[in-house]
Structure 1
Amino acid sequence: MAGPLGLSLAPLIRSSPLLTKIFTPAAQWYAGGSLYRQYGLLYDDLLIEERPEVQKALSRLTPREAYDRAFRIKRASHADVLHAPLPREQWTTPEDDIRYLLPHVLEVENELKERAKWDTLTVKRKF
């Protein structure tokens, strides 16, 4: 996922062991401080559903993945209404916080780019 300008520093950081060593603790601290794990959510549960790429990616989830996602969101919404995070044993651990939706989103984005590349044909009428 790129930033607002379409640029991402992630490939640069991942390619350098020194930068990875510097930024990994900060990234873990930030993820822990965002509190979504205390409500049992995964990072991909926070993606904006109104984006067309995400909607198409959501339609590609297996029934089990879609059910689990809906359950996590309903459970987190209920805990939020109660103004209390889930019990500690129900928190999402960093090991469990996997990117289940990102591969589908990237696949959809690549398909859209490929479609845009090939949809440049213009028809001209000959007299």
Structure 2
Amino acid sequence: MVGGPLGLSLAPFITKNRTLYRWVKPVANWYADLSGYRKMGYKYDDLLVEERDDVQRALTRLTPREHYDRQFRLKRASHCSVLHDILPKDQWIKAEEDVRYLKPHVESVEKEDLERKAWENMVIERK
């Protein structure tokens, strides 16, 4: 479940309110730039914990190109880590390029799990 400790998220409320979104978006971009993952060549979804079952299943649903690009970014960032350096500025991931490519797959896996759980708990009664 995504969100805070209670599984709650303010994101839907913020994205619906245009004024609030215009105030929060620059702060969010600033924070993402400050975290430095884009300077290493990562996209946000590259940082998801791969040990989770839903992420593992979502990774199998990537296209071959998305899978190759992800592996390339992981290998390049690993190389930067070994060198204790960041990529040249022209190779940094820009905010426009940092799209959530894995999130839709993770969400569909979660929906499928919920649906499976609902069907498995169904009780059949004879009339």
Is the TM value for this pair above 0.5? yes
Counterpart residue number, 2:79: 78
Mapped to 2, the partners of 1:62 and 1:53 lie a distance apart of: 17
Deviations 1:67-119 (A, max 9, x none): 11011001001101101100111110111111110010010011111111111
Mapped to 2, the partners of 1:89 and 1:4 lie a distance apart of: 37
Are positions 1:22 and 2:23 aligned together?
yes
Structure 2: gaps spanning 5 or more residues? none
Please provide the CA RMSD for this pair.
1.4
Letter in 2 for 1:16: N
Counterparts of 1:98-109 in structure 2, within 5 Å, are 98-109=99-110
Structure 1: gaps spanning 5 or more residues? none
TM-score, reference length from structure 2: 0.92
Structure 1 residue ranges (4+ consecutive) displaced by more than 4 angstroms after TM superposition? none
Are positions 1:120 and 2:121 aligned together?
yes
Are positions 1:110 and 2:111 aligned together?
yes
Letter in 2 for 1:31: A
Letter in 2 for 1:48: V
TM-score, reference length from structure 1: 0.92
Q: Percent identity?
A: 56
Letter in 1 for 2:23: I
Shift of 1:18: 2.0
